[in-house]
Structure 1
Amino acid sequence: MTNHIALFEPLMPANTGNIARTCAGTDTVLHLIRPLGFSLDDKHMKRAGLDYWDKVNVQIHDDLDDFLAAVADPKYLYLITKFSDKIYTDVDYSDTAKDHYFLFGKETTGLPEKFMRENQEKCLRIPMTDNIRALNLSNTCALVIYEVVRQQHFVGMELTHRYQHDKLH
């Protein structure tokens, strides 16, 4: 079982760097769908991801169709958008025998409307007030993937972290 976060045409290197760090912390594959709004060696992206880039499985896709061809089972593909009646916490992600894919849209325009309308049954939303247009992309990715790993009982994750004994004295 593997969880996947896919970013459709991400624009902001700091968001992508933060998302990469979340992927490293949750052992989630990160998919980047071109065109990207930055260079992969952008200093802001590297700084946001800190020194975790070597711990992230990053896959680059030329376009949305290229990414969709890489999805193991389209039944487990979810589109994260504000245009849905289904809430992300209402889905059962506990099947650890399956790969789960979460596709997030571009920071400015989200996912292509035609694509979302054609796949409405895959659309999920995070509840929020109407005071804002959308949540920050990196925060949204963190909310969703941590719900997924919570339902999967944090398999492979460190549940308790202890101070080293000699540092306490």
Structure 2
Amino acid sequence: MRAAERCSSMTTLDAIDLRILTVMQSQGNLSNLKIAEYVGLSPSPCLQRVNRLRKAGYIRGVTAILNIAKIFPSIVVFAKINLAEQTVRQFTIFETAIQNIPEVLECSLMSGEFNYFLKVIARDLEHFNELTQTMMEMGIGIKSFSFFVEIRNVKRTPVVPIDSLYQGK
């Protein structure tokens, strides 16, 4: 089996893979040497594992988490959105359009009383109002909105608790 086939067929993770993923999600800027020390490998096999995890799609990228409040004032608004039609075509139109609105940080298709749940960042309420008007005028099938302005964030982390969630295969 060629290396590319092994990467694409990677279906199970061992304890070292999980330790690599755990350290990388919370400290993505570590050097390969530091990651290797953390997981108990020499640098070369560690780098091979990291590359294998990347190629297999377990690591989608590495990013910096910014302290937005230090850069500029902003508000975070959560939005519940209902579409006029509940069709695959309408969902596709909406989802494609949302991809092109950079202020929409997250968008999830939901079960229950509404179709989509969005997390939006804006400069202020006026800017948010402009965004909602733009979305309504885009013709992407929005029937109704409900908005909730974040007063204070209590917890926000990109770190997933791998140890308590992963049960192997």
The normalised TM-score by structure 2 is 0.19
Q: Which structure has more helix as a fraction of its residues? A: 2
Structure 1 length-normalised TM: 0.19
> Which structure has the larger Rg over C-alpha atoms?
2
